[in-house]
């Protein structure tokens, strides 16, 4: 699928991996709707990139708000690409050092945003894409964001790893479900990336995280995530794949 002339929906599109994806798709001739809760950053991105980008404030767990964002994308042209980058992560052990159990509502919240939110976008975007005219048999592609924590979740990541494991787990059945309507589904499992989530860490800690990555020994650049999204969109034979983007990192227990 050619990116040029297509419209994309990118959740978490105002910063980090999502922002880098918006920038890459626009640089390749596409248009994008950046979906985020951060209105200030989202409006700033749309102002910077001009008519090619629209910002819509929306919560990925809301069916109505996501549908409104999809409607905004379809108003710009055929929605053919959807990328889910919105997510959260809080550290908590199953049983804390003080003997207290993991907060139940916190676990549910992580699952709701990272997994259910991704599915919400997937189902609504796929329904919209199914109405597109097929181009070489394709009507759209959906890229969800997992994490290497789905495979090697660390201490304190039980909620996060479970949510991202769910994203991995739904990739194959979603791709099979949508094969008849010509919509592909893939997932990217990033390692340690230089995103706003890590920006608050001391430089010493950031350097240590980068040094732990085998090759290249640095944090991932969000632009590298955006480049992989663009490749998935343009490579019609990539379907039901979960691609690790991690510099060969295999996380230890801590």
Catalytic residues: 160
DSSP 13: T
Identify any residues that bridge with 95 across adjacent strands, giving them in sequence order. 101
Provide the terminal-to-terminal Cα distance of the chain, rounded to the nearest Å: 40
**In angstroms, rounded to a whole number, what is the distance separating the alpha carbons of residues 26 and 164?**
27
Q: Where are the alpha helices (DSSP H) in 38-139?
A: 39-49, 63-74, 104-110, 117-129
Residues 52 and 5: their CA atoms lie apart, in Å, by 10
- Is residue 132 within 8 A of residue 74, CB to CB? The reply is no
| Cα–Cα distance measured from residue 32 to residue 52, given in angstroms and rounded to the nearest whole number | 6
The torsion region of residue 221 among left (phi > 0), alpha (psi -120 to 50) and beta comes to beta
Paired tokens of 160:
């996060």
Cβ contact 41:116 at 8 Å: no
């Amino acid at each position: 699928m050619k990116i040029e002339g297509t419209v994309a929906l990118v959740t978490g599109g105002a910063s980090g991996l999502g922002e880098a994806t918006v920038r890459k798709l626009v640089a390749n001739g596409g248009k994008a709707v950046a979906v985020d809760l951060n209105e200030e950053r989202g409006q700033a991105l749309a102002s910077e990139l001009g008519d090619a980008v629209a910002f819509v404030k929306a919560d990925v767990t809301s069916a109505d708000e996501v549908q409104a964002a999809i409607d905004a994308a379809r108003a710009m042209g055929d929605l053919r690409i959807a990328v889910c980058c919105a997510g959260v992560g809080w550290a908590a052990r199953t049983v804390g050092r003080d003997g207290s159990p993991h907060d139940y509502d916190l676990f549910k919240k992580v699952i709701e945003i990272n997994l259910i939110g991704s599915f919400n976008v997937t189902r609504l975007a796929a329904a919209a894409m199914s109405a597109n005219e097929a181009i070489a048999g394709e009507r759209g592609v959906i890229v969800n964001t997992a994490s290497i924590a789905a495979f090697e979740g660390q201490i304190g990541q039980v909620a996060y790893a479970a949510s991202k494991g769910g994203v991995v787990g739904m990739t194959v059945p979603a791709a099979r479900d949508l094969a008849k309507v010509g919509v592909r589904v893939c997932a990217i499992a990033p390692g340690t990336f230089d995103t706003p989530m890590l920006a608050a860490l001391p430089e010493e800690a950031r350097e240590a995280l980068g040094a732990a990555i085998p090759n290249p020994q640095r944090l991932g650049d969000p632009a590298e995530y955006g480049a992989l999204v663009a490749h998935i969109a343009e490579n019609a034979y990539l379907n039901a794949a979960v691609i690790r983007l991690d510099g060969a990192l295999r996380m230890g227990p801590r």
